[in-house]
Structure 1
Amino acid sequence: MSQKSLLSLAVGAALAGSFFHASTARAQEAQLQPTIEVTASRVAQTVDASLADVSIITRADIEKTGAPDLIEVLRLQAGVDVARLGGAGFQTGVFLRGTNSNHVLVLIDGVRVASANTGAFAFENLPLDAVERIEIVRGPRASYWGSDAVGGVIQIFTRKLDGAHLAASVGSYGSADGSVGYGMQGDTWGFSAQAGGRHVDGFSASNVLAGPYVYNPDDNPMQNHNQVAQAWYKLGTQTLSASAFRSIGTQSFDNGPIFDNGGGPGISHTLDQAIGVNLEGALTPDWQHRLSVGTTRTNIDTPAFGSAYRSTREQLSWTNDFTIAANQHLIAGFDYVNDRGRSLDTFGGTTQYDKTRDNSGVFAGWRAQADALDGEISGRYDHNSDFGGEFSGSIAGGYRLSDSLRLTASYGTAFSAPTLSQLYSPGYGGYYAGNPLLDPERSRTGEIGLEWKIDDANRFDARAFSTRVRDLIDFSGGATFQAININHASIDGLELTHNWRAGAYSWTNTLTLQDPRNEDTDTQLLRRPKQKFNSVFDAQLSDAFSAGAELVYAGRADDFGGKLGAYAIVNLHASYAVNPQWRFGARLENLGDRNYQLAYGYNTPGRSGYLTVSWSPAK
């Protein structure tokens, strides 16, 4: 019997034991508290008060799943589609509400982290054990955040430890990872630091459908080393804080025989780094502010292709929240971003392009509430050194029909600036080159929503949206396929979410129905299924035991070279706290060993298991 099968059986046995033991334990009444988010309008507000569609994933939610990486957590969310080119550590696209992967603004502790070259963030390089919470805001947020927030914003907050922390995990496909950290949190100061690593032997990323330029049957291992740190100090009414994230990885990828005269895997080396410093607090009783500076760095080296990319970004922002009255707030501020991107030909030792650009933006928003009615209006003007000026705006309103029922409606515009690669890449032998005359991709979105708190145990949310995107960038210009603004896309969708909780039991169901289409060709946008359903059931059956199950379903989708079939997989998870210091977790993925694809010609994990142990000192 293979190592994968043995480990899967062991995890299955651990889960079965957890369920059996939990069935005899007493139920504990869950305590629900208002959840604060800061991403939708750049200032703190409760999720219930926000007029945007917001989801919060807490550290407790992450630990409950026992998931090996961030992708398994994100794919459970309404409106989120993922496309991974193989197993752990492989390039992963995250689509929010059917928009492109570079139409999602990604922040780590408030710092923009997408590459200036590609416009995308490498979610696969972010260690899950370093994450404290995730905020997902669906819909256009360019009126507050500027470029890239077409489909929405995903902000990731790194962990802030209070005491020591140790964690280790082993799993199928030779997966092994661990982390160690320590932090102290006092009344006037605190710090936290954590380091971790992961190694996965992996499996062959591709199959024969990928074609001879890609397919190779060898396994594709990966390894990653990462560090996160935070520190803060209180200075009267102000708090000075800093955060740092760094991830260094090596990923083997399939490199077909046609490319390298005999086959064998290629290797990519990556670096992702983000550092931020903030000063925030009350300047007067009615004036809160946050002044932030940040820097990011992204490197990708692929010796087999003779290519290397370097990307840096320097950022400055100032956000202010003025309390005009008890039920009115004015939010205003500015941002400045400097991007630099380089593309290097390591075979010839030449620089293909080395470009910089600046973007400055000013924004303002007004929020008000009067009896059953609340509303928000916001606007922003950006000036970019490449394409000039761009205005984004949004308006939203909510009306509370009763204490348990609220209707919402919104309209917003957004844009995504061309990446430096789309602007300046020389292409491949002159083909698929960039175009410095590109305009930004622009969108407009309308949304209506219904929020219904049926009773203390049931909540139902429905959101219908319609997005139109124009000036999509496509490599179809002339005989050399240069980048041009040509395509138009339409995305109509409906998201339904039902949350049920009774004592120790909770059940969340999300249904996403969407029609993401290329209007020019009347075809479905690639790798985005029209239907998606997730169901997550959890039982906290004692102070020590929790257990649960996940159902993930996705409908058929189009892709380069072929069709992606519909699939449904079931995952199980359980957690057992031996004492206040030690906790064990188990996860069994793809219980039915379903063969499915997230990208045409690329493999996904079969039945696989993971065991986790963590230690923190008792408080």
Structure 2
Amino acid sequence: MWAAAPAAASPEAATPAALSPVVVTATRTPVPSDQLVAQVVVIERETIEQAQGQTLAALLQQAAGVQISSNGGLGKASTVFLRGTEGRHVLLLIDGVRYGSATLGAPNWDNLPLAAIERIEVLKGPAAALYGSDAVGGVVQIFTRRGLEGFHPHAGLTLGAHGHRAAQAGVAGGQGRWQYRIGVSTLREDGFSATNPAVPPGWVAYTVPPDPVPRWRTRDRHNPDADGFEQDALNGSLRFEPSPGWLLTAHGLISSGNSAFDDGTQVQDVRGLTSTRVLGLGLERAWDGGARTSLRLNRADDLTRNFDFEGNTRFDTERRQWTLQHDQPSPIGTLTLGLEHSREEVDSSTAYTVRERSIEGVFVALQGSAGRHAWQASARRDDNSQFGSANTGALAYAFEFAPGWRVRAAHGTSFKAPSFNQLYWPQWGNPTTQPERGRSSEVGLSHTFGRQSLQLTRFEQRIRGFITTAPTVTNVPQVQIDGWNLVWQGSEGDWRWRADLELLEARNRTPGPNFDRRLARRAEQQLALSLERAWSDAWWFGAHAVLAGDRFDDAANTRRLPGYGRLDLSAEHQLSSDWRLQLRLNNVGDKRYETALGFNQSGRALFASLTWQPQR
């Protein structure tokens, strides 16, 4: 149901096909995983379909071993931590398009429908030398569902706890040079109270007529009512080959979410309306000898409206981007050359001093393998209209020193530009904030035996000019992130399993009151476990657990969040060739826990899905 790309596993290692998918994110080109140096986890469609009632962030935690924090249930703000870095240090791509909020400076994980996702690739480790700002801790790339030859309709219905009801339908098809897909989904959930009395007060905006400039004050946020979520989404893709060697593509994802948030009154909630739009056009030319040139035009919008009894706020960010890339095979590997242009614009009810910026990027990369060796090198230069130029680079190498055994090493540099909120938010933004600069190193040892693999990775990250928001936005000299990651996965007969252990030490190394304090909301130990079994041709069962150590909710380490353990059970029954029933019981032990102070997580919750997909 999932697969992890081994660290440069060799063809002789007899790794099963399920453990060696072709991945794109690690190199920006399609590469079989047994030729990679980087650590990548691939989450396939089957796993996504079995995540009833889960958020996208929770799916990533369980299936890829990342750490997360969440401000409640579906539709509430979530953060994903890769290699112990901040949420703003994780780049989110949707079909190659950068997506996220330019004001928050971090991805929006909470309005992306699982029904539209075909697979997910999680690249662990810095990738700024390939992708520029944001990719400090890694990259998560979502691939939406695509067309297929023939005619393939599908539909599904899900019912469950907290008044959850969802439906999705679509059709994929194609003939000859054409392929297409269109899908729609809708979701409604009454929800549960997102907060409890421990939630810290929040900032709210208000105006005093005739002055249109927002003022800010704190207000309690707890209201013990159910905080629901509604979502409607549409996605589609088109693929056309006008002549041999040429390819035209188009894809789009549009999602509208309506989420209730506590506002500290017993009268009404804040209503958060979020619109996600990701659109892309591509033209590709395949040349003789395996070379390939592509031009992609992309646009991603993150639009937010918050309504409460005092008025409303608006935060609309738009990113337009084009990318020209050429991949050239050579005797020492595939050489990739690229140019990128990106423009970010903000339209908001908040008075930002600057509302737009542009980034020009140029990058070069080399990826190859020969015999027992594999290598990857990349370099990039970005020119930001606000902060000038930034150069990043990365080198990685892997060597098979015995059959099935690999050792690898990698080093890279990164940078992260401040968000518009960090620069210009009224009262606590700081326009003198500078980009963060980082360097990362990791070494790994992997062993593949039969249909199993073990991967042990030691990683270190140093970030200079780390941006903090407490009490105001400022750059602090340095934070230090060290850790170990151990992954054991495999299959035997009808059994399949995966265990992902992360031991993390993420600390502030700046002299002062917070020296040696742990970075907020990251546990020093987390273990994600999955055990699955196919029972005959009609039944499948799975058990999924997450065990996380304690963490702190603040930079001063004064607000402790206890550790927790969570167990989910799932089952699937093939009713007939066209009909399938899926059941999932989340949080079997009905554990009460928090990943952000004062924000509740769902208790025990049962979900059932019925799916129709004709087999032709």
The alignment's TM-score, normalised by the length of structure 2, stands at 0.90
How has the CA–CA distance of structure 1 residues 45 and 211 changed in structure 2, closer, same or farther, with 3 Å as cutoff? closer
Aligned residue runs from structure 1 range 389-400, under 5 A: 389-400=389-400
Correspondence 1:289 to 2:293:
yes
Cα distance, 1:161 vs structure 2: 4.8
Query: 1:378-527 counterparts in 2 under 5 A?
Result: 378-425=378-425, 427=426, 431-435=427-431, 437-453=432-448, 455-475=449-469, 482-520=472-510, 521=514, 522-527=516-521
2:157 counterpart of 1:168: yes
**In 2, distance between residues paired with 1:548 and 1:53?**
25
Return closer, same or farther for 1:391/1:79 CA change in 2, 3 Å cut-off: farther
Q: Are 1:177 and 2:166 matched, yes or no? A: yes
Kindly provide the amino acid, as one letter, of the partner of residue 441 in structure 1.
E
Q: Answer whether contact 2:42 2:119 (CA < 8 A) is retained.
A: yes
TM-fit CA distance, 1:423: 2.1
Name the SS of the counterpart of 1:209 in structure 2. coil
From 213, 218, 224, the equivalent of 2:225 is 218
SS at match of 1:221: strand
User: What amino acid is the match of 2:608?
Assistant: L
Shift of 1:353: 4.6
Q: Give the letter for the 2:239 counterpart.
A: W
For 2:393 and 2:595, locate their aligned partners in 1 and report how far apart those are by CA, in whole Å.
35
Q: Distance in 1 between matches of 2:280 and 2:19?
A: 29
Question: How far did 1:73 drift?
Answer: 1.4
Counterpart residue identity of residue 440, structure 2 = T
1:139 to 125, 134, 146: 125
Tell me, yes or no, if the aligned pair for 1:517 and 1:524 is still in contact at 8 Å.
yes
Displacement of 1:66 in angstroms is 4.3
Q: Name the residue aligned to 1:148.
A: 134
State the match for 1:23 in structure 2.
none
CA-to-aligned-CA distance 1:86-119 (integer Å, 9 cap, x gap): 1111011111111111100100000001111111
Q: Is the 8 A contact 1:242 1:277 kept in 2?
A: yes
Quote the residue 2:347 is aligned against: 342
The alpha-carbon distance between structure 1 residues 407 and 173, as it changes in their structure 2 partners (threshold 3 A), is same
Distance in 2, matches of 1:355 and 1:540, equals 54
Q: CA deviation at 1:368?
A: 3.5
CA 1:268–1:584: 2 relative to 1, 3 Å: same
8 Å contact kept, 1:79–1:98: no
Which residue of 1 is the match for residue 212 of structure 2? none
Match of 1:227 in 2: 234
Which residue type is aligned with residue 613 of structure 2? S
Between Structure 1 and Structure 2, how many residues are aligned? Answer: 570
CA contact (8 A) 1:170 1:611 kept: yes
Q: Which amino acid aligns with 1:432?
A: W
Distance, in Å, in 2 between the alignment partners of 1:68 and 1:98 is: 22
Scaled by the length of structure 1, what TM-score is found?
A: 0.89
Q: Which amino acid aligns with 1:613?
A: L
Q: Is the 8 A contact 2:55 2:73 kept in 1?
A: no
Aligned-partner residue type, residue 378 of structure 1: S
Task: Quote the Cα distance in structure 1 between the aligned partners of 2:250 and 2:413.
Answer: 32
Amino acid at match of 1:331: T
Kindly indicate whether residue 255 of structure 2 is the aligned counterpart of residue 247 of structure 1: yes
Match of residue 101, structure 1, among 59, 76, 87: 87
Match for residue 52 of structure 1? Answer: 38
8 A Cα contact 2:90 2:107, kept in partner: no
Instruction: Return the offset for 1:272.
Output: 1.0
Distance in 2 between the 1:583 and 1:354 partners?
52
Q: Which amino acid aligns with 2:447?
A: W
Which structure has more relative contact order (CA 8 Å, sep 6+)? It is 1
Q: Deviations over 1:295-336 (max 9, x none)?
A: 0111111122632111011100012211112x5221111111
Distance in 1, matches of 2:469 and 2:109, equals 25
CA distance in structure 1 between the aligned counterparts of 2:598 and 2:369, rounded to whole angstroms: 52
Retained in 1: the 8 A contact 2:299–2:319? yes
SS at match of 2:100: coil
Q: Give the match for residue 211 of structure 2.
A: none
With 367-376 and 590-599 compared, the bigger mean Cα shift is at 367-376
Contact 1:342–1:353 at 8 Å: present in 2 too? no
2:21 equivalent to 1:35: yes
Which of 171, 183, 199 lines up with 1:194 in the alignment? Answer: 183
**Whole-Å separation in 2 of the counterparts to 1:359 and 1:107:** 17
- 1:276 paired with 2:265, answer no
**Shift of residue 457 of structure 1?**
2.7
Question: In the alignment, what sits opposite 1:20?
Answer: none
After superposition, the Cα gap between the structure-2 partners of 1:370 and 1:211, relative to the gap in structure 1 and judged at 3 Å, is closer
Residue-by-residue CA offset, 1:513-547 (whole Å, 9 max, x unaligned)? 01111222211111110000011000112222111
The whole-number CA distance in structure 1 between the counterparts of 2:466 and 2:226 is 36
Give me the whole-angstrom Cα distance separating, in 1, the residues matched to 2:360 and 2:532: 46
Aligned residues of 1:585 and 1:613 also touching (Cα < 8 A): yes
User: Where in structure 2 are the equivalents of 1:10-25 lying within 5 Å?
Assistant: none
Deviations 1:396-423 (Å, cap 9, x if unpaired)?
1111112301100000001111112222
- Match for residue 371 of structure 1? 371
Query: How much does 1:390 deviate?
Result: 0.1
Alpha-carbon distance in 2 for matches of 1:300, 1:92: 15
Q: CA deviation at 1:187?
A: 3.0
1:129 matched to 2:124? The reply is no
Secondary structure of the residue aligned to 1:87 is coil
Q: Rate the CA distance shift 1:610–1:507 in 2: closer, same or farther, 3 A.
A: same
Q: What secondary structure is seen at the aligned counterpart in 1 of 2:72?
A: coil
Taking the aligned partners of 1:286 and 1:526, their CA distance within structure 2 comes to 47
The yes-or-no answer on 1:208 pairing with 2:197 is yes
RMSD: 1.7
Deviates more, 1:482-491 or 1:392-401: 482-491
Alpha-carbon distance in structure 2 between the residues aligned to 1:603 and 1:516: 25
1:521-560 to 2 correspondence within 5 Å?
521=514, 522-560=516-554
Distance 1:148 1:313, change over 3 A: same
Identity of aligned residues (%): 31
1:524 aligns to what SS in structure 2?
coil
